[in-house]
Structure formats: structure tokens, C-alpha cells
Amino acid sequence: MTSSTSPATSLLAGLLFLLSCQQYKAQSTPASKQADVIQPVYITDTVRHDTDDPAIWINPADPSKSLIIGTDKDQDGGLYVFDLKGKIVKEIHDLKRPNNVDVAYGLSLNGKPTDIAVTTERFTHKLRIFSLPDLKPIDNGGLAMFTGDTGDGFRDLMGIALYKDPKGVLYAMVGRKSGPTDGSYIGQYRLDDDGTGQVKATLVRKFGAYSGKKEIESIAVDNELGYVYYSDEGVGVRKYYADPQKGNQELALFAKTGFSEDHEGISIYKTGPKTGFILVSDQGSNQFHVFRREGEPGNPNEYKLLKVVRVAAQISDGSDVTNVALGKQFPHGLFVAMSEGKTFHFYRWEDIAGKDLK
């Protein structure tokens, strides 16, 4: 017995074949051939477990010898220090799931200005603090956070950002994994010399809304404008005053639409004392959404999307950026993004900016 195929069936089969060819072509086209995907200048050496968040330390004597400090997020995790070509130059192990990291300059210890790197250690509920560039511990084994709080995850540390006010006082903005949702999500701690050359932390305030929808990981501070931002995943980016004397009211909630999955890393590129760009990771789409640092004309708390930048970094959590020229490879600054594959990606700022961001 023979069978015949109707014209409609033949047409459908032809359409399906064409569609499959197009899909195959799209899948087989490497990222390097896709003009809209920005490629890094360098990809770092791999860490042992799971990269999560980077911070850039500018070498004041020679910016071309600046360093990138990155977290390796695991129960037996650590900090890795990379040169500007992504080569590992120093490692610290045996940290209990370090999550995010930030750097600050000139904390007075034993009467001397000291640059520091601060990371959150989730499983011990402590901040770990190291001097730079030698990465020596200066925290008496760690500074306990949220000591009076109770609740599942209320002490499991996640995000960290450092804020230096106009008087030179240094604060740590510390986030936790899963709560609370009563407007006291972030702890702001003043960092000082304890009298022995080690760092102590004093709680100044708790503030900040948390939706409870997913979690909050990325925190960023704009020292000059005096704002703190953090990503409430699946909701948007929240903005507050960094100065505790200015109150705890939420100033803005932006980047609420257009994200395929989680809002993650936040980084701020400065084009002037009060101008620049805020970049927010759209983790599920391997891209960053860009907004004006200063907000819209006449309304500093309104943020309209300027541009979406697609990068080769995959499922990026943390990021950092600087406008300082770091040698010939990065004459207009460096953008660093965490990527799957236990690495960080280093990009030229001009490649990120393209012709759109001036």
C-alpha cells in the first residue's frame, strides 16, 4: 500500500526544514562572529571553585600595575589577586564562602593610611579585611555582623560596598542573604583602628527594603554623589542616601523591566564629578543595562535605559569598573565582569561604551 502527502503537509514540512536550518545556523555561529557581543581583552586564570565578584585596586604609584581582587565562592573558598593580564599573583584560601568584595583607600591604621580589601564570609557571618597590596589579614580573625539578629539567613552575609564620606570616615554597607523584609536589610558599619592596628566595626544603622522575592547580592556606593544602590533580584535596583544623617527613605527603584532573570552586579563609571553611567547585570541574558549616573535632567532619581551591552561573560554576578587609565591596554579604564567557567573577563571601557555612551 502506498501513501500520498497532501500539499499542505508538504508545505509544513518545508517550513519546518527552513526553520531548523535557521536555528542551526544561529546556534553554530560563534560568539566572536556576532558583532553585537563584546569580547574581553583578557580572561583570567581559573580559580578552584566558583568566581563571584571582583574589585579593582588602583596602584597609586603606577596604575599599569593595578590589581583585581576576586572572590572564589565555596565553603573552602578564598580571594584571588590578578594582574591586568588576568594572571594570578596571589591567593588566600580557607575562607568560608566569601561572596562579594570591595576595596577602599587610606584607612588610618597605626597612624598610617592603609588600602584595604573587604569580603563577606557567609558561613561565619563575618567581614574579613585585608591590607593591600600584600593581602595580610587586619581584622583579628573576622568582624561579626548582625550579632543581635535572628532568623534563617538573616546573618548569612552576601553583598559588601565601602563608602567614604566627605570627612574621610569609612563605612561598610553589608547585605545578607534572605531578610529581613522590615526595612532594615542593610547594616552600615563604621570601620576604625581598634588601637592595635587592626580594624573594628561599629554598627551605625540598619536600613533598606527587601522584597523577599529572591535575594540581594550586589551593592554599590557612589562616594561623590553620596548614594548607595543594591539589586533586589527580580524586582529592580534600589537607591538610598549613603550618609546615615540623611535618613532611611528610599529615593528610587529603577531597572524594573527588561531583565530576563536576576538583577546582579552594579558598577559605576564616572565621566566627571557628577556624571557617568550605572551598569547593571542582566544575569540570564549575559548583558548589562546602562543608566545615567546623575539621573535624568531635573530628576536625579529617575533612570531611563540608555543602552543594553551584550558581553561574552556568561551569567555574570559581580562586576567593577574604573575610569582610570591602566596602561596601554586600558587607556580609558577597565570593566571587569565575573563569568561562568571560574573566570573574570577584562574589557576596555571604550569597547563597552561604543559610540553611544559619551
Asked whether residue 8 is domain-assigned, the answer is no
Please, are residues 78 and 90 in contact by the beta-carbon 8 Å criterion?
Answer: no
* Cα 56 to the center of its chain, rounded Å: 11
pLDDT of residue 129: 98
Asked whether residue 29 is domain-assigned, the answer is no
Please, are residues 250 and 237 in contact by the beta-carbon 8 Å criterion?
Answer: no
DSSP 326: B
Percentages helix, strand, coil for the chain (3-state, rounded to 5) are 10, 45, 40
Asked whether residue 21 is domain-assigned, the answer is no
Asked whether residue 77 is domain-assigned, the answer is yes
Q: What is the CATH number of the domain that holds 105?
A: 2.120.10.30
**What's the total number of domains in the chain?**
1
Asked whether residue 130 is domain-assigned, the answer is yes
Global pTM reads: 0.89
Q: What is the domain extent for residue 345?
A: 35-353
Asked whether residue 10 is domain-assigned, the answer is no
Please, are residues 81 and 88 in contact by the beta-carbon 8 Å criterion?
Answer: yes
> Can you tell me the distance from the alpha carbon of 114 to that of 354, in angstroms, rounded to the nearest whole number?
36
pLDDT of residue 35: 52
Residue with cell string 528610587 = 252
pLDDT of residue 8: 41
Asked whether residue 221 is domain-assigned, the answer is yes
Q: Starting at the earlier edge strand, list the strands of the sheet with 98-109.
A: 98-109, 112-121, 126-132, 143-144
- pLDDT tens, residue order, the chain (358 aa): 333 344 443 444 444 444 444 443 333 334 333 459 999 999 999 999 999 999 999 999 999 999 999 999 999 999 999 999 999 999 999 999 999 999 999 999 999 999 999 999 999 999 999 999 999 999 999 999 999 887 777 899 999 999 999 999 999 999 999 889 999 999 999 999 999 999 999 999 999 999 999 999 899 999 999 999 999 999 999 999 999 999 999 999 999 999 987 888 999 999 999 999 999 999 888 999 999 999 999 999 999 999 999 999 998 889 999 999 999 999 999 999 999 999 999 999 999 999 988 7
pLDDT of residue 284: 83
pLDDT of residue 133: 97
Asked whether residue 15 is domain-assigned, the answer is no
